[in-house]
Amino acid sequence: MSSFLMIVILSLTLSACSIREDQAEVVNLNHDICPDYDWGKVEQLVSPHLDNFLMTALVMQGQSANYHTAEAASQAIADVKDEQVRAILARIIASDCD
């Protein structure tokens, strides 16, 4: 009986920790991303994922759009395969970062 009770308590504890972790991720997703990423940081973020031609196009677009961060993210997102980088770019676009 006592081992059963210990298993139940342990299960409830682990379940509560899991819920707190999920809530922490939601709070992090609600964080305003714009102060953390400017045009230059987007360029650094996507440069390993773009060939020279696409990087040149990104730089030229930056010059013509006054280095609007969301524009850079939106131009690069289709060519980036890394899901974490795409998630960051999508948040930048959704926030319409300048």
Total domains in the fold of the chain: 2
Task: Assess whether 16 and 41 both reside in one domain.
Answer: no
- CA dist 89 and 8 (Å) reads 42
Task: Assess whether 18 and 52 both reside in one domain.
Answer: no
Task: Assess whether 56 and 9 both reside in one domain.
Answer: no
Task: Assess whether 22 and 49 both reside in one domain.
Answer: no
Mean pLDDT of the chain: 78
Using pLDDT thresholds of 50, 70 and 90, give the confidence band for residue 1.
low
Q: Which domain holds residue 16?
A: 1-31
Shortest CA distance to 45 belongs to which of 93, 88, 74, 94? 88
Task: Assess whether 24 and 71 both reside in one domain.
Answer: no
pLDDT tens profile 22-57: 333 333 566 799 999 998 999 999 999 999 999 999
What is the CA angle 92-97-98, rounded to 5?
Answer: 145
Kindly report whether the global pTM for this prediction surpasses the value 0.75: no
Task: Assess whether 45 and 23 both reside in one domain.
Answer: no
